[in-house]
Amino acid sequence: MFTLNDDERAIGATARQFADEFLAPNALEWDERKHFPVDVLRKAGPVGFGGICVGDDVGGSDLRRLDAVRIFEQLATGCPSVAAYISIHNMATWMIDEYGTEWQRRRWVPGMASMELLGSYALTEPGVGSDAAALTTKAVRDGDDYVLTGAKQFISGAGANDLYVMMVRTGGEGPRGISALIVPADTPGLSVGPNEKKMGWNAQPTRQVILEDARVPVANRLGAEGDGFSIAMNGLNSGRLNIAACSIGGAQAALEKTVAYLSERHAFGQSLIRNDALRFDLADMATELEAARTLLWRAAAALDEGAPDKVALCAMAKRFATDVGFEVANKALQLHGGYGYLHEYGLEKIVRDLRVHQILEGTNEIMRVVVARALTGAA
């Protein structure tokens, strides 16, 4: 797992090349303009980044979670915001591939793998965040359709997406009353709210998705009625790993920028890179990132293998890597002094982008709950 073969190195190199060529040169402009680069996302599909862990019979790359986290780390060196959207798209694509009927797989997955169709995951609601099992968006059966009423909050890509993998309530209270539906964005009765004004992640839109008597065919349901909560949680395992990888990648870019800056900057008669106190800071930053990367790879391998402790390890990796990523990026900004606070140096953007990773895909407080339950056996 820790010694990469030629194919694994090539996968990482391809992702870094894509980040260097298409993401990094445009990241600051996209952030400033709040521009969602759909044209660049279309380029990511043919490279294999639209369906990384999806079957090759429907256009996917058929890679492991371990490959995916290495890809997302490299993509995030160019722009954490765009890399994170690609992660969310991949989560939705995998859920259809994994839980969909053959008709559903062949109807939607090839277009999503090529990124001609953009998808997202819709679980959170305006009044329901961490307590996802309490969601209230209703789907009432009416013949061959479900009629959907409610709203989803903080949905990445909303307004530009072609479809949503959406969790809705088809039954009673609690997780067993939740089902998963593929909801096309052009469904009559579906609309989106204004783009949220955010601290970071400005290169992808975040909006409410509003449902007012929106009709979705029963044929669009993933699995049976009542399977939605378990489908959502299984999707989140991979989402947590990928967001952890995006944190490591963004922080790695910040560290690389800092080494270059300290090498060029002179003060007190010498290059700052010769100052032992600053070198120790760099050493600590690199060590923390390597520790986070090692735990992430361990968790990804456990998910690939279906290990009994996979859920706890995914939660550990998400909590640790997103905390470390933010702290390393913040330290990198500090080491740039006043220049780190300027937009043109790119550090403040990385800090803003990585901050939300400690909240989404399950807050880091919830990650501690998941790990504690695994340790104690508590429900």
- Shortest CA distance to 219 belongs to which of 94, 106, 359? 106
Tokens 């959406």 identify what position?
A: 166
Looking at residue 305, its pLDDT comes to 97
Return the percentage of the chain with pLDDT > 90, whole number.
96
CB atoms within 10 A of CB 368: 13
The answer to whether the Cα torsion of 9, 14, 19, 20 is positive or negative is positive
Looking at residue 377, its pLDDT comes to 87
Q: If pLDDT is split at 50, 70 and 90, which confidence band does 127 have? A: confident
Q: How far apart are CA 126 and CA 138, in angstroms?
A: 14
Q: What is the pLDDT of residues 101-117, one digit of tens each?
A: 999 999 999 999 999 99
Looking at residue 379, its pLDDT comes to 60
Mean pLDDT of 162-168: 98
The answer to whether the Cα torsion of 289, 291, 294, 298 is positive or negative is negative
Active-site residues, by number, are 361
Q: How far apart are CA 21 and CA 33, in angstroms?
A: 20
Helix H, strand E, coil C: the string for 58-126 is: HCCCCCCHHHHHHHHHHHHHHCHHHHHHHHHHHHHHHHHHHHCCHHHHHHHHHHHHCCCCCEEEECCEC
Strand partners, 166: 122, 181
CB 207 within 8 A of CB 198: no
Mean pLDDT of 157-163: 97
Q: How far apart are CA 110 and CA 54, in angstroms?
A: 10
Kindly tell me if the per-residue pLDDT of 21 is higher than 70.
yes
Looking at residue 207, its pLDDT comes to 98
Q: Which tokens in the block code for residue 278?
A: 């600053």
Kindly tell me if the per-residue pLDDT of 319 is higher than 70.
yes
Mean pLDDT of 79-107: 98
Q: How far apart are CA 222 and CA 230, in angstroms?
A: 11
Kindly tell me if the per-residue pLDDT of 167 is higher than 90.
yes
Average pLDDT, the chain: 97
Q: What is the pLDDT of residues 255-290, one digit of tens each?
A: 999 999 999 999 988 999 999 999 999 999 999 999
pTM higher than the cut 0.85? yes
Looking at residue 130, its pLDDT comes to 87
SS3 state at 303: helix
Q: Which tokens in the block code for residue 114?
A: 């090529």
Looking at residue 2, its pLDDT comes to 81
Q: What is the pLDDT of residues 35-68, one digit of tens each?
A: 999 999 999 999 999 999 999 999 999 999 999 9
Could you tell me if residue 77 is left (phi over 0), alpha (psi between -120 and 50 degrees) or otherwise beta? alpha
The four Cα atoms 33, 211, 124, 82 give a dihedral, to 10 degrees, of: -30
Q: How far apart are CA 253 and CA 350, in angstroms?
A: 9
Domains within the chain, CATH numbers bracketed: 6-118 (1.10.540.10), 120-224 (2.40.110.10), 229-376 (1.20.140.10)
Looking at residue 65, its pLDDT comes to 97
Mean pLDDT of 65-79: 98
Looking at residue 9, its pLDDT comes to 96
- Shortest CA distance to 253 belongs to which of 176, 341, 334, 351? 351
CB 81 within 8 A of CB 353: yes
- Shortest CA distance to 314 belongs to which of 243, 246, 229? 243
Q: How far apart are CA 149 and CA 131, in angstroms?
A: 19
Looking at residue 99, its pLDDT comes to 98
Looking at residue 200, its pLDDT comes to 98
